[in-house]
Amino acid sequence: MLKPDTSLIAYERSDCYTIGHSVVKGLLASSSLEMFAYSSTMNFPFWPTEPSVQDDLEADIRWLARKEAAQLWSQREGEWHREREARERLLSEVLAVRQKQIEACLEENRLRQAEDLHLRETLLADLESEVSGRSGGKALARHKAATQRRAELDAQLMEANLLQSREAEADRLETEAERAAEVEYEERLRYEANRLRRQHQQREASGKETSYNDYDNYADLSSLSLKDREGQELTEAVPYDSLICSGTRADKNYSTMRPLTGI
């Protein structure tokens, strides 16, 4: 229930008091004038001169004024009550209409959400059925592809392992061949060095002079034909004085000289 505006009620009450006061003053003035006029026309003094009579008259006038003011106040209160009831009734109608609108909106939203949920569930069910229908063929295809890919990877791995083992075997054979060639080279070189040394000793014993600055004194080591790592033949002429006099021998690649240790 709406409460009346207290400021408006106070203002209307003050206005009512002012109206009542004005009515009382008017009644007093009109009554005095009417009595004075009536006494003048009748040619006898009607206006009360005694204090008691005048006091009674004023009391009656005040009673009439209060009665009229009470009637005015009751009338104004009735108007206020009717206005308040009208405002409350109007507010109730507005609130009822607004409540109906809100309930209609909520119901519409609920129906829309239910429809969306039903549509979503239907779409999910259709999708699941479609996926389950296609899952068999797709799973088989994926399994075949995975098996084929695994076989390819296994073949590549076996090929890589075989190639690695072949390379390791080739490296081992090459290393053994190099070692065998080096041993054979050392033995040939030691043999030729010993032979040349014996020849030199025989020449010294027979009194023959040996010239170390002549080109003819170089020993031809063409018989020392070896194969290097690439399988190519190497033939080098080693100077006799380098083998015997300087105490050095040729390396297996015939490009450098190093001191003899086995002679």
Res 220 pLDDT > 70: no
Domain co-membership, 113 together with 15: yes
- Where a domain ends, among 79, 94, 117? 117
d(CA 52, CA 54): 5
> How many domains does one find in the chain?
2
Domain co-membership, 26 together with 102: yes
pLDDT tens per residue across span 54-97: 777 788 888 888 888 888 998 988 899 899 899 999 999 999 99
236 is in which domain, residue-wise? 174-259
- Predicted local confidence at residue 242, as pLDDT: 43
Res 150 pLDDT > 70: yes
Does residue 21 belong to any structural domain of this protein? yes
Domain co-membership, 101 together with 180: no
Does residue 150 belong to any structural domain of this protein? no
- Predicted local confidence at residue 170, as pLDDT: 84
DSSP string, 175-219: HHHHHHHHHHHHHHHHHHHHHHHHHHHHHHHTT----SSSGGGSB
d(CA 239, CA 219): 6
- Predicted local confidence at residue 56, as pLDDT: 76
Torsion of CA 134, 135, 141, 142, to 10 degrees: 140
**Whole-model pTM over 0.85:** no
Does residue 67 belong to any structural domain of this protein? yes
Name the one residue in this structure whose structure tokens are 């389950």.
132
**Which of helix, strand or coil describes residue 43?**
coil
